[in-house]
């Protein structure tokens, strides 16, 4: 188990301090109290309650149909399991894009009803005014640019962003606009490593990479992916640190065999 640097809860000030010192930031997703507790005890710095829950747990083809109530439910559960790590909650599609007033109302609900420390939203310069509105009333915001899953259809699928020079310049401008608007960190998803490195070096807030190379200030992975529970998903950037899908199938198979054969429950497991 890795050791966290301190016992007190992680804050946005820590993110900025770690950026300055060069200390890498560890982020994973979680969707319930059990895994929230386990990843917190393992020493992660930040737990992201991602709208990926819509795909990972609900079996939907994308994040687009995730609801605000769904995110609040899972974030409340995660928060019950987490003691030290910062909890950040994704704002789902159409909960913040319609108007700044609606974004404030919905982000406020997330903060008030879950106990999370921050929200995350997707988009660059076009979302800067919304970010500013949230920050002005005391809601910390994590930005997200590059492959933004809520815009997957507009982007033409799940593919690396910023390969062309014009697109790369636009992403660098997006990162600058988000920093000026007050984000405390920015997720960079599916970017060429060189571009992600330039963005990371040029910004005063930390970048959190997923499929964006080693020069980001931190990394995030979806927990079932890194544990090998979602073993049908194997993008290039993903490193599996366990093969738990095999373990689960094996354990359930042994249980089934013992039930059918009368070996379970035995005297030891009976009252």
C-alpha distances in angstroms, 194 versus 74, 152, 167, 175, 214? Answer: 35, 23, 14, 15, 9
60 has catalytic annotation: no
Q: Tell whether omega for the bond before 270 is within 30 degrees of 0, i.e. cis.
A: no
Give the side-chain half-sphere CA count within 13 A for 202.
16
Partner residues linked to 143 by β-bridges? 186
CA nearest to 47, candidates 15, 85, 9: 85
Task: Give the three-state DSSP class for 205.
Answer: coil
- Token look-up 């890795």 returns 2
Catalytic residue among 164, 189, 258, 268: 189
Catalytic residues: 189
């Amino acid at each position: 188990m890795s050791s966290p640097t301190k016992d007190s809860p992680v804050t946005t000030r820590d993110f900025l301090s770690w950026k300055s010192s060069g200390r890498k930031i560890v982020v994973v997703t979680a969707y319930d109290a059990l895994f929230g507790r386990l990843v917190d005890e393992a020493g992660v710095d930040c737990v992201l309650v991602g709208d990926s829950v819509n795909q990972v747990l609900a079996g939907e083809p994308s994040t687009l149909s995730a609801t605000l109530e769904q995110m609040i439910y899972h974030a409340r559960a995660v928060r019950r399991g987490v003691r030290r790590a910062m909890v950040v909650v994704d704002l789902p599609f159409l909960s913040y894009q319609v108007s700044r007033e609606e974004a404030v109302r919905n982000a406020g609900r997330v903060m008030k009803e879950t106990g999370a420390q921050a929200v995350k939203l997707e988009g660059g310069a076009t979302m800067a005014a919304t970010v500013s509105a949230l920050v002005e009333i005391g809601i910390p915001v994590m930005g997200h640019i590059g492959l933004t899953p809520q815009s997957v259809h507009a982007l033409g699928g799940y593919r690396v962003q910023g390969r062309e020079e014009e697109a790369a310049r636009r992403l660098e401008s997006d990162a600058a606009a988000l920093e000026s608007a007050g984000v405390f960190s920015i997720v960079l998803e599916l970017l060429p490593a060189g571009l992600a490195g330039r963005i990371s070096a040029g910004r005063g807030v930390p970048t959190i990479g997923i499929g964006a190379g080693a020069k980001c200030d931190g990394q995030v992975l979806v927990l079932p992916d890194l544990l090998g529970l979602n073993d049908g998903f194997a993008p290039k950037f993903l490193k599996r640190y366990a093969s738990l899908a095999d373990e689960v199938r094996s354990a359930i198979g042994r249980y089934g065999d013992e039930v059918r054969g009368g070996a379970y429950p035995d005297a030891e497991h009976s009252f």
